[in-house]
Structure 1
Amino acid sequence: MTDRCNLRCFYCMPEEGLNWLSRTELLSYEELLRISSMLVGMGVNKIRITGGEPFVRRDLMELLSSLSALNGLDELTITTNGVLTAPYVCELKRLGIRSVNLSLDTLDAARFFAITRRDEFAAVMHTLQELLKHGIDVKINTVVMQGKNTQDILPLVELTRELPVSVRFIEEMPFNGDGHQFSGIAWDYVRIMDEIRQRHPQLKKAADEPFSTSYNYNIPGHKGNVGVIAAYSRTFCGTCNRIRITPTGILKTCLYDDGVLNVRDQLRMGDSDEQIKQVLLQALNNRVVDGHEAERRAKSAASIHQSMAAIGG
């Protein structure tokens, strides 16, 4: 929806923010709806709205209302940081949105401020409460970072004891938006799971949904569940069927590529739906085998250090 965000998470962008895109560079509401309608007509049955932070864009609820009416769309979901979301939860429920991904890297207010550079922990927790109160499934997305929030792994797991939430721990990725060299991670998915097993040796592997990017686990007696997403190790690439369209209309068949098609330009050149569908199919049929190959093919190192906010994180 947008590259803008009301938080400044250090692993996503510099403290001063980014060189924000102008409104004319962003896909318009009408363009977003047209692209979505075409993709649903081609067989896409799930759409996730991301940002930046989706709720900083004023026409979000209007778009969600139109998307929810698309014939053939089975699931419409949102990824949000939760700062502005609480007032809209009732309307989300009315539109049929059954699941929301909530970005939350810590359960400690001081660490939240250190990570996000904003004092919004209470607002995010209020959103979590509202989502659960309205019966919306919540997946909490936590990026695990050495020296920043590894002490939050077990408290977040403990959250699943009494709450019906899914907590997914995500490997840190290089999309920091500041061009600094990313030297790899200390906490990969294996180490994260080892940490959880030390406290919960009875952890049991759950069945993963088809094309899932997470490995999921149940803990006996817990209402919720936990999972890990090997976003840096990229062990799930062989079954990934996801595509991504950035706020400027760049089609990415992998987070690690630097874009394979500018859909916005196709729209604004006056191409018909059928013409655009053909170039979309051509791009999708030529997707790389995995994220490592996508990174090797990227035209410049700068593409690997984009902010996640700019590529739909």
Structure 2
Amino acid sequence: MKDKVGREIEYLRISITDRCNLRCAYCMPESGIKLMDSSELMTFEEIEKVVKACAALGVSKIRITGGEPLVRKNASALVSKIKAVEGIEEVSMTTNGILLNEQLSELIAAGLDRVNISLDTLHSDRYYEITRGGELSKVLSAVDQSIKAGLITKLNTVIIRDFNYDELMDFVKLAEDLPVSVRFIELMPIGQGKDYKSVTTEEIRKTILKERQLEPFSQVTGNGPAVYYKTESSKGSIGFISPLSHEFCDSCNRIRFTAEGFLKLCLHWNLGINLKAALRRGCSLMELSKIIEKAVREKPNHHEFMMSMDNKVDYDTRKMVQIGG
């Protein structure tokens, strides 16, 4: 499936809930957000139907997100449904890791191929602060158990200048000690994220180079735009994801399906189509595929996060937790 500029769309990110068991400061207000009524959430059967329609168009990789996907009951059952769809080669999940240990065996049995765990600090007090109450020990245990279970494990780390910039080398050391990919991600100016000072991946890389040599590393598989390196003693790898400083829109291969049923074509723009009505009137798979294919042709050429939004009417004003990670 190609969009109007010829990008091959093969990757679908599916948010299965807008609920989260943390209140990360750069993601949502301390008081939380107005949650969707459960009747408005896409059912697992509706999600499965969208996956089948997308798979028929060439989508082969699925990532399950939230909110926090593991707060939704029986998330492993959805993994199993998606993994069984013809044409789907890989199912992964992004999670904060708090509930991962207690569901890990079920997820692996269901066919989960890889997991990305959000982890912005290795200090318990800072983790409690940034997440507004989270327990770091649960996340570190989940990382350890995921590795022991043989699950491909990546850590998503957002560097914030006045919060965790001094932990850069601690995360590098983590990638040297464990067979994980630590990915440094530029903070997106979405919702509460606009209130924090981001750091470019180029600055992060230069800081690391003061203490380590970095060698390009191409053996990490995945669906996104991360550029990977290894240090001389790495068991794992170090990745850099640069959506702002090095826009990678020209190679974007993804679309998003939100928890309320909106097929979202770009993280920045509020453009796409709500599939809920078609799904709930019982549209056929062929009809659904045609609706999706037509919508994808209008995928925006690029985001404009770095530009003033004063006169823009189509950009998404929701919190990241509402959009999907």
TM-score w.r.t. the length of structure 1 is 0.92
Matches within 5 A, 1:176-195: 176=191, 182=194, 185-195=197-207
String of CA shifts for 1:251-295, please: whole Å, max 9, x gaps.
112110113110112212333222221121111112111112898
Deviation at 1:149, TM superposition (A): 1.0
- Tell me which amino acid in the other structure corresponds to 1:64: V
Matches within 5 A, 1:162-241: 162-176=177-191, 182=194, 185-200=197-212, 202-207=213-218, 212-233=224-245, 235-241=247-253
Structure 2: segments with no counterpart, 5+ residues: 1-15
Give, in angstroms, the shift of residue 300 of structure 1: 5.2
How far, CA to CA, are the matches of 1:18 and 1:285 in structure 2?
Answer: 32
After superposition, residues 36-185 of structure 1 pair within 5 angstroms as 36-176=51-191, 182=194, 185=197
CA RMSD of aligned residues (A): 2.1
User: What's the CA shift for 1:218?
Assistant: 1.3
How far apart, CA to CA, are the structure 1 residues paired with 2:168 and 2:116?
Answer: 17
- SS of the aligned residue for 1:194 comes to helix
Partner amino acid, structure 1, of 2:20: C
1:114-166 deviation per Cα after TM superposition (whole angstroms, max 9, x unaligned) = 10001311111111111011011111001111201111211011001121000
CA gap 1:86/1:267 in 2 versus in 1, 3 angstroms: same
Looking at structure 1, the residues matched to 312 and 67 of structure 2 have their Cα atoms a distance apart, in angstroms, of 22
- May I ask how many residue pairs the two structures share in their alignment? 307
Distance 1:105 1:183 in 2: 17
After TM superposition, give the deviation of residue 210 of structure 1 in Å.
Answer: 8.2
- What is the CA-CA distance between 1:93 and the residue it aligns to? 2.1
Structure 2 partner of 1:280: 292
Q: Residue type of the partner of 1:19?
A: K
Structure 1 residues 281 and 234: alpha-carbon distance in aligned structure 2, compared to 1, 3 A threshold: farther
Q: How far does residue 238 in structure 1 lie from its aligned partner after superposition?
A: 1.1
Instruction: Provide the rounded CA distance (Å) in 1 between the counterparts of 2:216 and 2:95.
Output: 27
* Paired residue secondary structure (2:254): coil
Structure with the larger RCO, 1 or 2 (CA within 8 Å, 6+ apart): 2
Q: Secondary structure at the match of 2:208?
A: helix
Write the letter of the residue equivalent to 1:140. Answer: L
Q: Percent identity?
A: 36
Q: Is the 8 A contact 1:254 1:294 kept in 2?
A: no
* Residues 113, 121 of structure 1: 8 Å contact kept: yes
Give the 3-state SS of the residue equivalent to 1:217 in structure 2.
strand
Give how far 1:308 is off: 1.1
Q: TM-score, normalised by structure 2?
A: 0.88
